[in-house]
Chains A and B, each alone.
Chain A
Amino acid sequence: MTLSMPSLQATSAGLFRSAGAAACRAEGIAPIQVNHLDVFYRDLHALEDVSVAVKPGKLTGIVGPNGAGKSTLMKAMLGLIPAAQGEVSWGQTSLLAQRERLAYLPQRAQIDWRYPATAWDVVMMGRVRKAGWLRKFSATSKRAAEAALKRVGMEDFAHRPIGQLSGGQQQRIFLARALAQEADVLFLDEPLTGVDKRTEAVLFDILHELADEGKIVLAVHHDLGPTIKNFDEVILLNREVVASGVRDEVLQSEFMQQAYGGWATNWAAAAA
């Protein structure tokens, strides 16, 4: 998938960066298509007939009230929770048939931060699949991990135990793990939880860069404050899809009211 005219891309990068990059990779990375997904937790119908597309080259947010099923949707797409019905396809096959191209940053609470591992250990986990069975990590893998650490500004913390890092630093290490993995699809569950302003900036910079490279970036986003402006597309969820598409169209007051009930109307008015 090399570009036939690299010089052209270089000159136009400044101007048409987003559109250009997305367009020339479009043939490489197809959108993820969720079709009629139903998920149950025993009797609880957590997701009902969810159909959405997640496009490459865009930063997509899943938004909705507490317990709306945001994490559930992400996990069901990733095969971490079985779906009662529906399918998730990506290009010619299912998403799960292409696992080595997927990376997932779980919700912070799901990780035991006292696990005896250093930041370096965690980033190298992103290289486990590429390294292959019964093998040690190659020099390439180590370089990829070093580059990833540098990109998130954590190169000086490689040898720190993860438990001794701040919440923001921990999140950046997980992002570095996903970068080291060189995945084409990145799913993040509430990446801003417990994170400082600097990490927030680094995180969105990198997510935008990844989207510009034509990758698929999907994040559960809890916060309806100004950070939502970072997303190009929004999936508004409340057990079913209330609306999805371009951010500002989805975040209209009528959809928000439908998803959140009365109180969100004020927010939508304030944000508009």
Chain B
Amino acid sequence: MINLLIEPLQFEFMQRSLIVAILVGLICAVVGSYLLVQRLALLGDAISHSVLPGLAIAYWAGINLFVGAFLSGMLGTTIIAWIRTKSPIKEDAAMGIVLSTFFAAGVTLITLIQKDNKIDLNHFLFGNILGVTWGDVRDTAIIAIIVILVVRLLYKELLFYTFDPEGAQVAGLPVNALNFGLMSLISLTVVASLKAVGVVLVLALLITPGATAYLLVNRLNRVMALGAGIGILSSISGMYLSYWVNVPSGPAIALVAAGFFTLAFLFSPQYGLLTQPRSAVR
């Protein structure tokens, strides 16, 4: 058994994948916790689908993929906010429109360029963690450091803002800047996670580990910490599954994360379907 885990690590590509899996599991859970508590899970999905056209254009133009994807994700977020404020359309519909449009544009662009560039649309959509390069490791590490640092430094402000945005605004916090910062963090995290899970399933790493932790602990910092642990475990397991049974890493990671969630859903001491005290049923 131990051998089964250790043996693949003699390959350098598995070492690279392992580093990326750990970093991505960590930051997705941390940043995703903010989406979870703001009930903005769908926004995570919208941003992740929005990065695709930027990715394609960056590939075609030969600029850093992470930069292209990030800008594209931010553009998607901006358009969602713009539709919501300038028309009677509600946020969820705005997200649906932007998500599908950007995704369609991305798939179209990638299909157009993939023949000449020997790239595989499936890798963008569902992840290819075993194809991680050292350049990817470096970029992922830089993003992870930025994300963790910003969350640490702005923790109290972001807690206030995500819990009670109006109270925070009245007290004088720059809520628009905080919101923009949060959206940037989410875009960065999505971009860092593309190799591991792909755009379609980033949401699994953003939301599921945090939601699992939410059933077990009840303070944001603990949701983040426990969620990070679960996220890391999920992405490492997914990586091995991808290696052994030759499935794309994204679905493998998503399924492992869902397994953890199911356990917490059934057996959480406080909210578990089978274990919660009667009085806690709401």
* Residue of A121, A126, A131, A187 contacting most chain B CB atoms (<10 Å): A121
Q: How far apart sit A187 and B217, CA to CA, in the bound complex (Å)?
A: 33
What does the 1/0 interface line of A53-71 toward B look like (CB < 8 Å)? Answer: 0000000000000000000
A20 within 8 A of B: no
Binary flags per residue of A109-140, CB closer than 8 Å to B gives 1, else 0:
01110011110011011101101011001000
Please pick, from A75, A78, A104, A117, the residue contacting B163 in the complex, using a CB distance under 8 A.
Answer: A117
C-alpha gap A125/B171 in the complex (Å): 10
Q: Which residues of B contact A110 (CB under 8 A)?
A: 164, 166
User: A112-B39, A115-B37, A116-B219 given as contacts; is B160 within 8 A of A125 (CB)?
Assistant: yes
**CB-based contact A161/B166 at 8 Å:** no
Q: Number of contacting residues on B, CB 8 A?
A: 26
Question: In whole angstroms, what is the CA distance A90 to B122 when docked?
Answer: 60
Closest to B213 in A: A116
Classify chain A: how many residues form its interface, as a range.
Answer: 35 or more
* CB pair A125 B218 closer than 8 Å: no
Check B170–A80 contact: CB distance below 8 A: yes
Q: Which of B153, B163, B214, B222 is within 8 Å of A125, CB to CB?
A: B163
Kindly identify, within residues 202 to 243 of chain B, every residue whose CB is under 8 Å from any CB belonging to chain A: 214, 217-220, 222-223
Are B171 and A116 in contact (CB-based, < 8 A)? no
With a cutoff of 8 Å between Cβ atoms, the chain A residues found around residue B41 in the complex are none
Which one, A95-103, A210-218, A260-268, is touching chain B?
A: A95-103
Q: Given contacts A115-B37, A117-B159, are A163 and B218 in contact (CB under 8 A)? A: yes
Q: Tell me the residues in window 16-68 of chain B with beta carbons closer than 8 Å to chain A beta carbons.
A: 37, 39
Q: Find out whether the CB atom of A125 lies under 8 angstroms from the CB atom of B219.
A: no
Is B136 interfacial (CB-CB < 8 Å)? no
Cα A111 to Cα B173 in complex, Å, equals 18
State whether B219 touches A128 (Cβ < 8 A): no
- Is A31's beta carbon under 8 Å from chain B? no
* A residues in contact (CB < 8 Å) with B: 42, 75, 78-80, 99-100, 102-106, 110-112, 115-118, 121-122, 124-126, 128-129, 131, 133-134, 137, 161, 163, 177, 181, 187
